[in-house]
Structure 1
């Protein structure tokens, strides 16, 4: 278990010219982050080419958990003098915080859950810096999968227990009706002893966890898992919600998506925006491959009555681009949390039988084939976005890979700092393809804008232009 001790000088102070109180603190994590090597500490402290800036941004996102903003630069503007330093001492690791957001503290002492998430940030960035980035085998599919496994194992989220982990995808910017529905589904899952894994942010990523906590308490489950999997480019825009008790930061969106698929025993998709569409296309593209024909798990798209048109449009887009065969891979359930939970529980029982028959582990789906096209990081530039091959005549899983990249680029332009800078410098991304695909894509994206699924607050300015 992680514990902290604090310097006796911890106290809220004011940054000159700022109205937000801050705290200086010394924290000593215990358990899971007892020691770091000199090289790991050096990289975390190195401001010139090292990981210090990344550490600072991710730590600030954790310390502002619960923020209502999805602008990755907002917290940095509110706390411009925040800094974090990691020191290796004889008695273990010491984390120094300067001008940290006071909202993460109570009477000068850091909130325990926030401290654990902060330790997870240091742990994952240190491990990535030394163990994964730069490995020669990251150009090979099996090497990338092994890297995903090692990152998850280092985070201690792989447990050799009976299958019970439900991955929940959905938007960070959803309405009240949809949010309440995600809690209801989470409650029904929790009553059946199922744990929750999400992208760790607000909205549809928080609701299922919140519902499950009540159900788990009623069932007297003492060791429930609320796993949040994120990546550095997105964490600042989607700070971890306070229910997450296991945070994992993967190096990029592709490894994050593979981690979801490898860990999941079933997946539920709630209404969302472009990020949710990206996740759906990623999963369908993998499941459509012949190698994965016998490696299914329950996939349910669900929401309240008001979300029915949303799923109709998603279903129509999938059938147009990937074909009816892709639509056979999922089930749509509207306004029925009990049915969702029952079908998920029954599906996971089949997953257990399937894993035993295939001699695959319960905690990591090694048998699922994830091709290199779905693993290699896609860094959206204007040239690469315009060059995506969005035309009929391709194999469905190949078209799914490029459609996924298109949505990933829009996510970057919406909420990732690098993507936002590219849009500000060069204008919207252009997306080209067959006329009917572009018309369907444009209609889907327009619906996301009209339903305010692109941003939590403020007027949305499209970062893309669809060209038939």
Structure 2
């Protein structure tokens, strides 16, 4: 039987503890209605921190009686929790880090609804408008450190990895921490927790007491990647596209550890940007790394990219196996190059305004059966456009695996279908089968993985890739 705490109230400590009457009223009003369901599901994921369930639909079913409300208290606000997971409490008191994350959920969801979506000053139909909105969300969350010249390293990888791979991510994080570099991940377990844990030790050794462990998530994925306890800055972006853009705008380089379809989605998103001719001269360190046992994994990724996107795409990243020090040194060198590059061009170090991200890559992709089938997975387009469409294909598979809406769509209408030319669908099929064999699709269970997709190969007129 699932243990819960029947009823409790918690008060903010820090960001939301001093509010005007107008601010408190707006928080109270905006957190109701349609936003309440979103606020409830994200809050439950935060309270479920440390548990292995990676399915948002099952999480909501397990805690059907859970509720959370914003209440007025002495001119400010409190959160009232009903039937919350007992694992979030110690001796009846909520764990402070989880409490902070709950108020981060409230802050971001209400801010986006009240200040971004309902604000005519933000034109989300333009690329510039979306990039500005992402900056405002990050700034409102207080995670942009304007006065710091310490690099922020983004680490991507799976939330379900083996012990050897996890220990490797910790060692890389440790080497980054010894160089006083900060860490940003998707905030969850596995390859998102390991680098933060290692960096925290490295920071402690260097007496670097202002380390940042930034977690960036979004409502559809938070149940699969509940914030790990090391995260000291949590931001919830409105959708996966804004989450991905926030990584590359705030971060100074990316390290990719072994993962599954979500990690492949992230790799392809970044490749789509770096392959854009508009970004040709912009430095951005991009490293794929893991222990010796992950050598075949990276070979599969590299082969897939080579067969679908070509050698130019392969030139955008390095693969470093079983050498955490080399990874950290290369990242430090790359960040130094970025610092000089932006200084010469008058760009800010704390937010990458120069990077061109096309509007089609920024628009939220809704993984419906119609949209998945309509994806252009042929060579009859530029290489960066193909990378963007492959990213959407992986995003749809992630939705079908772990997101509530995607799971329901599969249950109601059957498998997602992806259609493309043989030269692309063949390598895609090979890569996905490798992920299944290595149990990289979801957290392993006693049941065999059941694909949420079907691949259709067709013959198309050959076309040269631009």
The CA distance in 2 between the partners of 1:157 and 1:66, in whole Å, is 23
What is the alpha-carbon distance in structure 2 between the residues aligned to residue 25 and residue 150 of structure 1?
32
User: 2:5 — aligned with what?
Assistant: 22
- Counterpart selection for 1:102 from 86, 94, 110: 86
Instruction: State whether residues 173 and 198 of structure 2, in contact with CA within 8 Å, keep that contact through their aligned partners in structure 1.
Output: yes
Note the aligned Cα RMSD (angstroms). Answer: 1.2
- Contact map agreement 1:69 1:457 (CA 8 A) in 2: no
Pairwise CA distance, 1:450: 0.4
The Cα offsets for residues 268-296 of structure 1, whole Å up to 9 and x where unpaired, read as 00011111111011001111111111212
Q: Which residue of 1 aligns with 2:449?
A: 460
Q: Which residues of 2 match residues 222-241 of structure 1 at below 5 A? A: 222-241=209-228
Measure, in 2, the Cα distance between the counterparts of 1:135 and 1:434.
43
Deviations 1:361-384 (A, max 9, x none): 111100111100110000011111
Task: Spell out the pairing of 1:152-167 with structure 2 (5 A cutoff).
Answer: 152-160=138-146, 161-167=148-154
Summarize the alignment of residues 362-373 of structure 1 with structure 2, pairs less than 5 Å apart: 362-373=349-360
Q: Give, in whole Å, the separation in 1 of the partners of 2:118 and 2:302.
A: 40
Residue 397 of structure 1: aligned partner: 384
Q: So what's the TM-score if we normalise by structure 2?
A: 0.94
Q: CA deviation at 1:90?
A: 4.0
**Which of the numbers 328, 334, 341 marks the counterpart of 1:354?**
341
Post-superposition Cα deviations, 1:330-386, rounded to whole Å, max 9, x if no partner, equal 000001001001111111111111110111111110011110011000001111101
Corresponding residue number in structure 2 for 1:76: 60
SS of 1:193's equivalent in the other structure is coil
Secondary structure, counterpart of 1:138 in structure 2: coil
In the aligned structure 2, how far is the partner of 1:19 from the partner of 1:126?
30
Distance across 2 between alignment mates of 1:163 and 1:284? 25
The CA deviation string for residues 127-154 of structure 1, in whole angstroms up to 9 with x for no partner, is: 0111112555101000000010010001
Gaps of at least 5 residues in structure 1 are 1-17
Take 1:409 and 1:440, find their aligned partners in 2: how far apart are those partners?
18
Name the counterpart of 1:260: 247
In structure 2, relative to structure 1, the CA distance for the partners of 1:104 and 1:383 (3 Å cut) is: same
Match of 1:66 among 50, 54, 59: 50
Q: Which runs of 5+ in 2 are unaligned?
A: 458-466
**Counterpart residue number, 1:125:** 109
Is the CA contact 2:308–2:423 (under 8 Å) kept in the aligned structure 1?
Answer: no
Number of residue pairs the alignment of both structures matches = 448
1:399-436 deviation per Cα after TM superposition (whole angstroms, max 9, x unaligned) = 11111110000000011000000011111111111102
Instruction: Describe the superposition over 1:49-84 as per-residue Cα deviations: whole angstroms up to 9, x where unpaired.
Output: x21111111111111101111111233233221111
- CA offsets per residue over residues 159-209 of structure 1, 9 Å max, x none? 111041000000111111111111111111111101100001111111101
